[in-house]
Amino acid sequence: MQIRAAVLEEFAKPLHVTEVDLAEPRAGEVLVRLAACGVCHTDMYTASGVDPSGYAPTVLGHEGAGTVERIGDDVRTLSPGDLVVTLFSPQCRECVHCLSPDTNLCLAIREQQNLGYLPDGSTRLSRDGDPIRHFMGTSTFAEYTVMPEIALAKVSPEAEPDHACLFACGLSTGLGAAMNTAKVKPGSTCVVFGAGMVGLGAVAGCRLQGAERIICVDLSADRLELARGQGATDVWVGDENTVQRVLDETGGFGADYTFEATGLVAVMRQAVEAARMGWGLCTVAGVAGRGETLDVIPRLLITGRRICGSSFGGVKGRDQVPELVQLYLDGKLDIDPFISHRITLDEVNTGFDLMELQDGIRSVISF
């Protein structure tokens, strides 16, 4: 079938919205008609050419939600009509990582996915007979996509797709960082550095976990106001004195939990230094630039602080994304403030421009 999609033809150039060919799903695969897709920083990062693992041509997009149209042979858990959220972090439920409660990093299709191919090493996308690779195994800047069954989470049909798509990446990453990775304890003090989608999700996650004090740090007054709406008890404009301010307000010890959601190594260092002596945990969810390193004073670790990373918030997608979506349906999460702009597929490059300007939290493409 022919579909319209946003193709990354060349790095550091605007995406080209054009017609491409999409083949039928093979065994274990599913054809999804996209209804909505968020424009995420990771898409822009790859389009810019600075991503060392990037490739072109490819159809970008990974924060999608839509409806199952057709299924291939051997698909057992999905049926036509199901509302699904796309998962760049799949869950086969069989590999050693999926069977472990300690990680969500499924190994089943990782190698081919990282190369831009579906599990059998081929693509369903093409143009004039030439293959086009699948970005993050999803390629959701398109009217339709073909994906592996294990990379789709079936969610409640009551969910609005433009809300559900946010759980495909940024929102789940932030929520999961607090709820799964850090496992924030009730009554604790948390500091979240960054009030973008991931940071706001972390604020909400800390609230849901029962944190007593949630400090959100950012440079934008507008974003800090959004953080307050997600449960932040304190909002601070960040500067070089932020760490000292945290120490001053915690008896000189630091916060029980800190979260870094900016991708800036200087902020990562602040998050480490603001963690409590004795048991403070710093969770790094931001993606640093190519070749950047984080300098940590060993004494901070010897005195009990810990650092951990969080990929997709430790969320096991097929099992836990439906649970997170249910939190929104139950009124425990306010999703509306995250959707800053509603755009069309033809306006996808405008979504990147708005992100560069830090205008809002998420631009959502409606199909």
Q: Nearest 5°: CA angle at 355, between 352 and 361?
A: 130
Residue closest to 3 by CA, chosen among 81, 69, 52: 69
* Structure-block tokens of residue 320: 């836990």
47 CA to centre of own chain: 17
Give the catalytic positions in this structure.
Answer: 40-42, 62-63, 92, 95, 98, 106, 110, 169, 362
Helices (H) and strands (E) in the chain, counts: 11, 18
8-state DSSP, 141: S
Helix orientation angle between 221-230 and 197-208, rounded to the nearest 10 degrees: 30
Distance CA 82, CA 84 (A): 6
| Contacts (Cβ under 8 Å, ≥6 apart) of 221 | 237
| Contacts (Cβ under 8 Å, ≥6 apart) of 222 | none
Output the CA torsion sign for 324, 329, 330, 332: positive
| Contacts (Cβ under 8 Å, ≥6 apart) of 271 | 191, 193, 258, 259, 260, 282, 284
3-state secondary structure of 349: helix
3-state secondary structure of 321: helix
- The answer to whether 7 and 132 have CB atoms below 8 angstroms apart is yes
Pairing type for strands 58-59 and 2-8 reads antiparallel
3-state secondary structure of 195: coil
| Contacts (Cβ under 8 Å, ≥6 apart) of 95 | 106, 107, 108
Taking phi first (over 0 means left), then psi (-120 to 50 degrees means alpha), and beta for anything else, what does residue 244 get? alpha
Alpha carbon distance, N-terminus to C-terminus of the chain: 17
